[in-house]
Amino acid sequence: MSGPGAGFDYPSQEVSWLKRDVLLFANSIGCTADELQFLYASFKHTDQEVIDFYARSAATPIPNVPKFDSRRVVDGQRSMTFLKLLPPTSAGKKFELRSKVLGVYDKGKAGTVIETETVLAERGGDIYTKAVGSSFFVGQGNWGGPKGPGTVNYPPPEGKNPDAVHTLQTTKESAHLYRLNGDYNPLHATPEPGQKMGFGGAIMHGLFSWNSACHGLLQMFGGSDPARLREFQARFAAPVKPGDKLITEAWRMGEFKDGWEESHKPYSKAKRESDRYQGDSNSQSLPPESNALPLGHGTQGYE
């Protein structure tokens, strides 16, 4: 880990959530009525009000790199390792997010990638999740920084039909519902930011696609049991518009890694109803009858 900005630690942030937040999140990513463990019982900071997304995004500058415009940023990639099951509410505990910069990469005319690692931990206690994500600042490159590592692709296996298919139909209002989880980026609520960035209007949150696909794979291959998902990774290759249908086609690969069973390592493909866009993904989870914990990771194809 080297280069300008690498190793910079953001200030830790206390976070909290209510059962209401968990229920809202589950509803907004497509959990169904037969999954009451999700619907009957999101991370913001401790504040409950809508915030100024642009101001918060620019609140902590990274040393030794240019100041980038948060009005022109989208998700690039996200992976998450689930180390311990989260309680349905943070009441009675103190949780915090600890984030640091892993690298800032100059992709030339296309833009700049900022890669960060964020852990969710109980203050003075266990780590629950570890996430590595990249933000892509559109058209903000050519500042002389390192190019960074290349991208790994996960194409679906040739000549084999998918073992399972998960479908989720979004609506024109889906982004407005999902933003109530705490991501108030205007890019997903009003057409002007997306028009300026060349998307033609508002787009869905990248993490809506990420979480919906992750939930679909857990539902298809893990019996909707959160303990059976160890890791999931997704790369966002193109925008999803409100109203698009997301289709995840998954294949079982039957592999093992580091003692974790990867018997369900699905590569998934998402596309719009109009077939204007296709992407790729992979993830891993265990069959519902297994007692072991799975390892999962993947690459997703939509923003």
Nearest to 205 by CA among 186, 191, 192, 218: 186
Report the pLDDT value the prediction gives residue 99, as an integer from 0 to 100. 95
Q: pLDDT tens across 176-235, in order?
A: 889 888 888 889 888 899 999 999 999 999 999 999 989 998 998 889 999 888 888 888
Task: Categorize the per-residue pLDDT at 173 as very low, low, confident or very high, splitting at 50, 70 and 90.
Answer: confident
**How many helices (H) and strands (E) in the chain?**
6, 12
Q: How many CA atoms lie within 13 A of 201 on its CB side?
A: 6
pTM of the predicted structure, to 2 decimals: 0.77
Residue where the block lists tokens 């609506």: 171
Q: pLDDT tens across 13-26, in order?
A: 998 888 778 888 98
